[in-house]
Structure 1
Amino acid sequence: MESKQIKHVAVYLRKSRDEGEFDDVLSKHRDTLLALVNNRNWSYRLYEEVASGEKIESRKEMQKLLRHVEDKMYDGVVVMDIDRLGRGENKDWALIKDTFLYSETVIITPNKIFDLEEDNDDVSFDFMSIFARLEYKTIKRRMRQGKEAGARKGMWTSGRPPFPYYYDKNTRSLAVDETNRPIYRAIIEKYLNDENLIDIAIWLTNNKIPTPYKIKPNGKDKGWSHVTVRRLLKSDVHLGYITFGKTRTKRGQVEIVPDEERIRAMGNHEKLKTPEEHEKIIERLTKNKLINPNARRNVLPLSGLVVCEKCGHRMQLRVGYGKGKGKYWTLLCNYVYKDGSKCEQKGKQLNDDFYNALFERIIHVDPQILKEIEIHGVRFNDTKVIIEVKEQDLNKQKRALEKLYESYEESVITKQEFVERKELRVRQIHGLEEEIHELRRTLENKDNFPTITSMYKRIDKFQEIWNGAVTNEEKNKALKQLVERIVYDRDEDRIELTVCYK
């Protein structure tokens, strides 16, 4: 096709994340292609995206471009090179070729115009697509080799690091976010002092500590979960290790790589927990997993106490009757999410053996745990840690407000931008000041924190009521004076129970 027949074109630009390209590369490509278009006096529409080039399904702008080409909206598509269109599977190249061929749309590069209706151009396109695929595989292999080599040297090569680390580009290693350091240590100390995962997650959420990955389903931040806390506690990154290659893709399926095949090395980053602490954490996590018998009955004493770990809602006790069994009770979670899907938690028939084992665990609370909580003043110290973190955040917001005034005075931002940003900063500052005020009031009233004496009194009271209880309702009352909730989670035949004391 002669250039005089081309009037309206699409300009397609793609910066590939997996190729390690930078913004200036995309800018140079844009300048080159727009200069080409303007010199020919073509009208154009620009398509830009940042995406991996392996599959079209992951590239929104490319999908849109192909739909528009198929609708014959353009005389040609301008790209820096053929491999900018794709480096993926053969079926993707077939789709690209068919779309351009049947719409009679040409492909324009700074060096050549490809008309796929011409035999020579058609063959050239096929060869270039093969070379692009080979080059892409070579790049991926080299990138993986580079990541493996970096991991062996103790560098971080595995994406987003765990809380409270962040990736330092200069050292290619992890550094500690000093604002979140005391929060992480508080999580470790709480768990080692026998607080459970659910309570730690609630404590973090109630104190408005940002979640590590800022996950906001449906646009709402649901806060910390017990799963996030468990993964954080189990992570050996905080012991100083770097692990690479936990998963791999085989024939389009992601599979877990065995431990012995992974790369594990001592990293260059700061350690945040000791081997002794890690060993105690793993030991407790393992002990919390209980093997549950097949069935259980007469569990009305647990009414209103059992919470589903998966969705966080109260579980129900349903009565049933079976041949040879008679009357029995089953623990079920019937919660339905807003989208109509049901909680995936599996219920369980409950028998007397499990019932007795659970209550033995509840009654025989280790007094040493209570003594350690009292001696170290865990909750009292936790409040001081939160105040320190909030004050650091408050100072940061105040400094940001001062810089905002400087930007406005130096005409870096407009008046409208200044007013909007100022309103946001002032609102955040006032909110933090109120939170700090409330925390200080709590700190002043030490009576809000449980003491060893009050805990022993509640245990004695529970045993007194329990020993004299006749009905299930009396047992339930006795439990509720001591136990806040019992968190239930099932994985096949394995049940994990966490007892949360008041």
Structure 2
Amino acid sequence: MNEIKHVAIYLRISREKQETEDTLQSHRERLTRLCNERNYNYTIFEEVISGHADMEDRVALTQMLDTLHLYDALVVVDVYRIARRLKIAAEVYEKIEKLNIPIITPDKQYNMSDIMVLKFQAILAEEEYKHIVKIMLAGKVDKTLRKENVNARPPFGYDAVKIDGKRTFVPNQYAETVKEIFNLALNGYGTKHIAEMVDKPAKSVHCICTNEGYTGTIIYKDLRVEDAFEPIISKDDFIKVQEGLKSRNTLEGGKRGRFRGKVLNILKDILYCDECGNKLFFQMSNRNTNHPSLMVRNCTCGKNKGIKADKIMNDFYSQIDYIELMLREEWQKVLNTPVIDTTEIFESQIQDLEKKKTKLTKRLSNAKEMRLDGEINRVEFEEIKNDIGVQLQDLDKSIAEISSRIDSLDKTKVSNEYQEKLELIGRINSLKSIPSKGTFPITTLPLIEDKEQANRLLRLLLDKVFLGWETDENGIEDFRLTVLPKKVFNI
């Protein structure tokens, strides 16, 4: 064996074991001290990754193996730090054997005669790890079913405490901030605007608004255990916030909308082309510089021409009045409908969602078989797997929401939902005022000074407003406005 002069130091810590940068620093100092004591020159390769990660994700390990022929030895804190997966460990040991270099740890030097023992130890280590993971997973599942919280850290607004030997979460002094965030979301404010109002990062506000844990629900793996600890937010309010966020952030084709810029008209980001479904935009017309007017721009599809915004607003206001009447009629109809009928509708919806889950699970199974048969590569399989995973999560969420509605279904909650919609219309109408005499141009349209607030309230009330054109039997062309209100979830 050649004299050892230049070595490769490989360092790895795992976030899964809650190891920190301090651990990495400690290992680094220990190995560099060893090299200095023995007069080794060294190059450090380090990474923070699970020992069971795929080789493609082990960047530092791959770089080290590609250049290992330049070194006289490999230095590690422990041989198990190289890899926990048998396949990867075997690849490293084969490289070591081929280059005929030792593995050095602070406690021992492994030469060629020790490599076979290391391979055997790697087999035992992988089996032991699988057994430990299985036991730990079963233990966490048992704790979750006992309504004991096994999640690492409590959400903002909670403290982790032990009560009667069980780890649970209790609201702390920041719970009021969480309530304020959800209240603002219920009133139609977006996460960015809420973040400015409560002085928190927008990303944090979004995480809070989408965390079902605030309803007192434990979510671990595929388990959902409700009423596990004291809620900060009711289940109904959480569902409404999710629906509101979805309507703000999702456009046709799954694209994200951008609610930015000055609100020139209360239908901003609500008005869409009836031909192609694209969003329509407003702009000021400069044709008459003395009295510029607000216009709906031509649609990019070319089938929806521009029109003065004032022309469509009278029709819009009359349709809002009709929606108010329609909601009152539906409310009365629901009050006269037996609860059992509504329950059957919900159960039918759950059955349809379960069928979709079955189809997606079958697709994933087929993709796994195709990967094993070599019909698709790893990247293609991961794309399919991730896509199906997102869809399954959405379906599980929808099933949980509908199930929650079934559990809490009563006439009072149904009435409250209709009452909230009617109160929204009242708040919108309260913002309207009659223009004073002598204003130019003369108009019968009511004025709304606070367009931003009206726009925010309309997003809570409406899904979309579609603008199209039609020709009557006399060949006269006129616009057509279709206003789609958000459905009350319980009908």
Could you tell me the TM-score, scaled by structure 2's length? Answer: 0.49
